[in-house]
């Protein structure tokens, strides 16, 4: 049976992650209170941020920015797209 969590991002009980997705206390916090569905939403947002800002994720400055955006997206007011971002049309 899948592990269930009360997802703070989606405000509902949902299937949890299988393992801690990020190191440290933030990773444990995500594992404890973010659903797999919300984590997938973050991965999409993260990809958009990396592409739009042309980030190199292994650089410390980019990692710090992405971590801050991840925390805002999952636990705060949300992470926003760059001002000139145009979502791809389907």
Quote the number of domains for the chain: 1
Q: What is the pLDDT of residues 13-64, one digit of tens each?
A: 999 999 999 999 999 999 999 999 999 999 999 999 999 999 999 999 999 9
User: Per the domain annotation, does 62 fall within a domain?
Assistant: yes
What CATH number does the domain containing 34 carry? 1.10.3880.10
User: Per the domain annotation, does 87 fall within a domain?
Assistant: no
Q: What pLDDT was estimated at residue 90?
A: 61
pTM of the model: 0.86
Cβ atoms within 10 A of the Cβ of 18, count? Answer: 10
Separation of CA 40 from chain center: 7
User: Per the domain annotation, does 86 fall within a domain?
Assistant: no
Q: Which domain holds residue 21?
A: 4-75
Q: What is the pLDDT of residues 54-72, one digit of tens each?
A: 999 999 999 999 999 999 9
């Amino acid at each position: 049976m899948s592990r269930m969590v009360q997802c703070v991002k989606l405000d509902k009980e949902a299937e949890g992650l299988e393992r801690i997705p990020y190191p440290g206390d933030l990773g444990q916090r995500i594992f404890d209170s973010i659903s797999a569905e919300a984590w997938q939403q973050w991965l999409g947002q993260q990809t958009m941020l990396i592409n739009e800002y042309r980030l190199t994720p292994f650089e410390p400055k980019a990692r710090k920015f992405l971590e801050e955006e991840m925390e805002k997206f999952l636990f705060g007011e949300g992470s926003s797209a760059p001002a000139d971002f145009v979502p791809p049309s389907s």
